[in-house]
Every structure is written in C-alpha cells, then in structure tokens.
Amino acid sequence: MNRIKTIGFPRQQHEAREVRDFTPELFAFLQGFDVQVVAEETYGSGLGLAADAYRAANQRLTFGTAAQCFAADLVVVLRCPPVSQLALLRKGSALLSMLHFPTRPERVAFCEEAGVNGFAMDQVVDDLGRRLIENLDAVARNGVAVGMGALARNWSDFAAPSRGPLRVLVLGAGAVGAHALRWAVQYGDPEVRRLQTSRGVAGVEVIAVDVELTTDVDYVTKTLPTVDLLVDATQRRDTSVPVIRNAWLELMPKHAVIVDLAADPYDASTTPPRTKGVEGIPHGNLDQHVFEPADPAWDKLGPGVPTAARRTACSCYSWPGIRPLESSRSYGNQLQPVLRALIEQSPEGLSVTGGRMAERAVARSSHRAFRKGRA
C-alpha cells in the first residue's frame, strides 16, 4: 500500500470573493500524524489569517507553490480544481475535493485515465447514506436570506401589515429542502423575522413538494401564480430535464424571486445538454449571486437556453462561501475523520466493508466505488 507521506493544500480563488482555505485547526489536527504538509503561499490570507497562525498549528507545515501542493501524495482542496491544475496531479496520488461524481462524469473519467484516486467530499456518507461532509444548513440559510433580501427590495408590501402571508414554494423535500423550510419561516434571518413580527406583518407560509409533485405540470402551473419566493432544492437524477420550464416563470407575480440552492450548472458539451432545475436563470458565483430581469447575464447563457420569462433570480454555486470563515471551520472539522482514514489506511487500503465506519464512508466516496455502483 502507498502510504500518504505528504499532503498538499492548494488555493482556489477564481472570483474576487472566493475563499477556500481551511483554518489552522485542521492543520493542528494533522500535527498528530507523521506527514509533511505543504500549503500554497498566501494560504489563509482570504480569511484574514497570517502564515504564522498555520506554522504555529503544525510544525511540519511549509509554504510552497501550487505545483508543489499538487505534487503531494494527497491533495486536499474544497473546490474541484480546473483541468489545467488537475493535470499537475501525480499518477497514484489521491485527490480529496467536492467532485460531485453524479453530475460530473468527466471527473470520474479523469481519475480513471490519470491513475488518480479521487475521493468526493460530497459522496462521503455513513452506513445509512447520510452525508458526513456538508454544510447544507448554510446553503439554505444564506440562499434564503439573499432571496428574502431581494424580495424585500422588489415587493413594496414585503413589510406591510396589510399583506397576507408571504408564500414560499420549496421544490424538493430532502435535506436541503428541510433546511430551506426552517430558514424560510425566519426570513433567512431571525432578526428580520423579529422586525417583521414587531410591525404586525403576517408570517410566512411554506409549501414543500417532493420530486413526484414537481413533475405534476398541472399542480406546478396552478401554484406558481401564488408564490412570492420559489426555492429550488431538488436533486435531479437527470440534469438535462428542468423542473420548472422557463415559460412558467411568467405565471409568477412580477415581484417574485427565485432562489437556486441546487446550483446545477449549464453544460452544452453533453448530449443532451445539462440545464438548471429552474430553466433559463443565470448561474451565479460569490462575486454575483443576484440577477434582476434586465441583467446582461441572462442574455449570455447562449441560444440553446430559453430566457424570455424572467424574475429576479438568486444563484450561487457555493452558498456557504458567503460566510467563508464559518464555512471553512465547519468543513475542516468534518474532514478530520476522513483524513485520519486516508492516512492510517492509505487510499488503496480502504474498503466499503469492515473497518471503522469512517473508513467505509471514505471508501464509498472513491471514484472507483462510484464506477462500480454505476456498472
């Protein structure tokens, strides 16, 4: 077995507001293992943390270039690196990242062809199928808060005591949908809820629908005219088929806002092309995640994406990243048992049967396990 002797932590910053660095607590955890750690120069600067904080946490840590980080036995990075950086990975090395194998088959193919052991953070699940590395509460909290903020700007009756209940439709009744429901009744922010209550404003009515009901066209088209906030929290098996057709957005009130928590991207290179759950809305990032109907981003989606019907849309591929320090610390804590399993057992020594639960969970997250499950 190829034991992990070096771990690389490259940075990922493709937008001005993007921060993907882990906090010193994770490096302090690694101090307990016989591994050399290399972090990319300026690591932690986006969090306002100095290099000395990382050196103090781990005496075996050094700072180096991105190429040196990618040359390590194990590369750990929250956001999946672009193809140009994936090419820096050594054959036989391991990559631990948010790889999203079900919707990114090209990443599975890369790992297999390059001889890289790919482990998807988003696929690390316990024996009951529950995700162990996730910040779904932050996804819902931040997305709903941004959506409610946009709705407050769009809708003159948002804070009016005379209005009826604020109506929210959540598409998807899974984990993200459950968090979205909880945050929606609080307007995404308990302070906003307290302020609304003090004004005598009516509360929030939330309807959550499961995947079967989202495919009932009659139900959806009759419900949309009553919706003030539409939240997409679906997890589609077929990302080429939208849940909400673009034309249906015209049924919604003019002030209505769409919140995209699913964050599925467009991809015209596949056959059939991949689309968002709510067809035609822009795909946002940490620099811009609110798109008014007149925003040029709608027109840049390409001729194959219908965008004629528009409502204010809120979309971000990384909602937790809006609060980067909180998000990085949470992910780092969840990664500790995963890193322990990889270091102590090696990427090749992990098995989906036997061993500790964390070891089985990590084994299930590998690209090889994913391929075997789809075979």
Least confident of 88-92, 106-110, 168-172, 350-354: 350-354
Where does the pLDDT of residue 63 fall: very low under 50, low under 70, confident under 90, or very high at 90 and above? very high
Per-residue pLDDT, 120: 98
Checking if the pLDDT of 1 tops 70, the result is no
pLDDT at residue 12, rounded to an integer: 86
Residue 302 pLDDT grade (very low, low, confident, very high; cuts 50, 70, 90)? confident
Spatial separation of the C-alpha atoms in residues 75 and 81, rounded to whole Å: 10
Tell me how crowded residue 287 is: count the other CB atoms within 10 A of its CB: 11
Assign 3-class secondary structure to 135-195: CHHHHHHHHHHHHHHHHHHHCCCCCCCCCCCEEEEEECCCHHHHHHHHHHCCCCCHHHHHH
Partners of 75 in the β-ladder: 8, 95
The predicted model gives 274-281 an average pLDDT of: 96
Q: Which of 112, 99, 98, 69 is nearest to 375 (CA)?
A: 112
All domains in the chain, ordered by first residue? 6-123+324-374 (3.40.50.720), 136-321 (3.40.50.720)
pLDDT for res 183: 98
| % residues pLDDT > 70 (the chain) | 99
d(CA 98, CA 115): 18
Q: In the predicted model, is pLDDT for residue 258 greater than 60?
A: yes
Region 82-108: what's the mean pLDDT?
94
How many Cβ atoms from other residues are within 10 Å of residue 104's Cβ?
17
**374 contacts: CB under 8 Å, gap ≥ 6:** none
CA atoms within 13 A on the CB side of 253: 17
Across residues 264-284, what is the average pLDDT? 93
Q: Place 21 in a pLDDT band, splitting at 50, 70 and 90.
A: very high
- pTM listed for this prediction: 0.84
DSSP 51-116: HHHHHHH-TTEEEE-HHHHHTSSEEEEEEPPPHHHHTTSPTT-EEEEE--GGG-HHHHHHHHHHT-
State the chain's mean pLDDT as an integer: 95
pLDDT digits (tens, 9 = 90+) for 140-161: 999 999 999 999 999 999 999 9
Give the residue-averaged pLDDT of 279-307.
95
> What pLDDT shows up at residue 13?
79
d(CA 180, CA 176): 6
Mean pLDDT, rounded, for 107-135: 95
Task: Please check whether residue 45 is in contact with residue 18, taking contact to mean a CB–CB distance below 8 angstroms.
Answer: no
Note the pLDDT of residue 375. Answer: 63
CB atoms within 10 A of CB 342: 26
Q: Quick one: pLDDT band at residue 303, thresholds 50, 70, 90?
A: confident
pLDDT for residue 14: 77
Q: Provide mean pLDDT across the span 251-267.
A: 95
- pLDDT of 27 above 60: yes
Work out the number of other CB atoms within 10 angstroms of the CB of residue 90. Answer: 14
